[in-house]
């Protein structure tokens, strides 16, 4: 009898499987056609743009026979579907081709530039989390008062202002006029501060608004009133009871923002001259360096997919209700 019960229990466990693992596999399978679609879209857009990349690379006054010969060596004379299938086959092996402009392996170029983007994104994330969470908590505690309106006004401005405008204004004021920071470059910690503030400003506004909204809602719950009735100090109620639950969606947003920062630092890197992935993409667009542009787009797409997956898993770990229902 006991053996039959044990066998029944084990068979149920084997049939059920791990909900988290199933979710990971499902998200990965969904991400595959998304990634292929992105690669196909960027491939088609680059091919329908007028002009020959070889002409752009070598100049307009080069002998047409030379241009034709180089185009043939690069495989640009082949049908588009053949070029696309070859690109997919090589990309699966980690080979994104050779840069037309730099004449170097695209994968190696991306690997060299990626650490600078990581440094900028992590510093920007730290800035956005620190400013956003603190401002959101203070605004919720001082609801409908001066500090609340001031912080939420700044948060709205951070969310609304385009990144390039924020970058140019801060660069002009703090770098050009006040001389507090270098105008451009990324060779010291001091040079990283201004780009990090610019990149994290928008995210800080979003985090502050969400933190305030969630905290204000949580503060009306019955268990918060119970904690206050037990004689707990207000800061203990907020930190140990309200903030814990209010931060669940905020943490998910923070995880998503890291991936978006890693992939979306194009304008910030261009304005401040940061040698990262975003600047590579801009240079590739200017010179019609198709392999380099395709490589950066695919790489950033993978980062966004991985970031979304981590955010989903993190939410499952932090919220037992989601974990039980997964």
E strands present in 118-179: none
pLDDT for 3 beyond 60: no
What is the value of pTM for the model shown? 0.75
Encoded tokens for 304: 């966004």
pLDDT for 112 beyond 80: yes
**Which distant-in-sequence residues (6+ apart) come within 8 Å of 207 by Cβ?**
128, 129, 131, 132, 133, 136, 250, 253, 254, 257
Average pLDDT value for the chain:
79
pLDDT for 22 beyond 80: no
Mean pLDDT of the region 174-179: 86
User: Looking at residue 276, what DSSP letter applies?
Assistant: S
Quote the pLDDT of residue 19. 65
Using CA atoms, how far residue 269 sits from 85, 192, 246, 263, 283, in Å, is 32, 11, 33, 11, 11
Residue 147's pLDDT band, with cuts at 50, 70 and 90, is confident
Mean pLDDT of the region 159-166: 82
Phi, psi of 98 (to 5 degrees): -115, 135
**pLDDT, tens digit, 9 for 90 and up, residues 40-70:** 888 888 777 776 667 666 666 667 777 777 7
- Residue 262's nearest CA partner among 63, 96, 113 is 113
Mean pLDDT of the region 110-119: 88
> Using CA atoms, how far apart are residues 60 and 261, in angstroms rounded to an integer?
38
Instruction: Tally Cβ neighbours within 10 Å of residue 58.
Output: 15
Encoded tokens for 115: 């650490």
Encoded tokens for 36: 């292929």
Asked if residues 190 and 180 have their Cβ atoms less than 8 Å apart, the reply is no
Domain boundaries, the chain: 114-325
Q: For the CA atoms of the chain, what is the radius of gyration? A: 25
Quote the pLDDT of residue 268. 84
Residue 7's pLDDT band, with cuts at 50, 70 and 90, is low
Mean pLDDT of the region 80-108: 83
Quote the pLDDT of residue 58. 67
Quote the pLDDT of residue 198. 87
Asked if residues 269 and 276 have their Cβ atoms less than 8 Å apart, the reply is yes
Quote the pLDDT of residue 225. 81
Please state, for a pLDDT cut of 70, what percent of the chain lies above it: 85
Top CATH class, 114-325: mainly alpha
The residue ranking higher by pLDDT, 44 or 312, is 44
| Polymer length of the chain | 326
Encoded tokens for 55: 């002409």
> Using CA atoms, how far apart are residues 126 and 10, in angstroms rounded to an integer?
45
């Amino acid at each position: 009898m006991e053996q039959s019960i044990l066998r029944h229990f084990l068979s149920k466990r084997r049939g059920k499987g791990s909900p988290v693992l199933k979710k990971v596999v499902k998200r990965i399978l969904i991400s595959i056609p998304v990634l292929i679609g992105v690669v196909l879209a960027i491939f088609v857009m680059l091919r329908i743009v007028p002009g020959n990349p070889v002409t752009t690379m070598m100049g307009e006054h080069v002998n047409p026979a030379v241009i034709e010969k180089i185009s043939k060596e690069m495989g640009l004379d082949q049908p588009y579907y053949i070029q696309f299938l070859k690109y997919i086959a090589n990309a699966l092996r980690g080979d994104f081709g050779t840069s037309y402009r730099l004449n170097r392996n695209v994968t190696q170029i991306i690997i060299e530039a990626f650490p600078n983007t990581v440094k900028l994104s992590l510093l920007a994330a730290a800035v956005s989390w620190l400013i956003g969470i603190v401002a959101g908590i203070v605004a919720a505690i001082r609801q409908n008062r001066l500090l609340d309106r001031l912080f939420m006004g700044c948060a709205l401005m951070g969310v609304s202002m385009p990144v390039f405008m924020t970058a140019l204004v801060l660069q002009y004021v703090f770098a050009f006029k006040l001389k507090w920071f270098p105008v451009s470059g990324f060779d010291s910690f001091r040079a990283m501060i201004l780009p990090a503030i610019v990149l994290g400003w928008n995210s800080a506004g979003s985090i502050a608004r969400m933190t305030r909204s969630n905290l204000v809602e949580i503060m009306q719950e019955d268990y918060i009133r119970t904690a206050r009735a037990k004689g707990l100090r207000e800061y203990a109620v907020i930190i140990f009871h309200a903030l814990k639950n209010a931060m669940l969606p905020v943490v998910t947003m923070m995880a998503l923002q890291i991936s978006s920062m890693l992939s979306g630092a194009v304008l910030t890197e261009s304005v401040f001259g940061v040698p990262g992935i975003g600047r590579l993409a801009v240079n590739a667009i200017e010179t019609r360096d198709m392999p380099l542009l395709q490589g950066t787009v695919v790489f950033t797409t993978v980062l966004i997919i991985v970031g979304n997956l981590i955010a989903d898993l993190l939410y499952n770990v932090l919220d037992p209700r989601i974990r039980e229902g997964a």
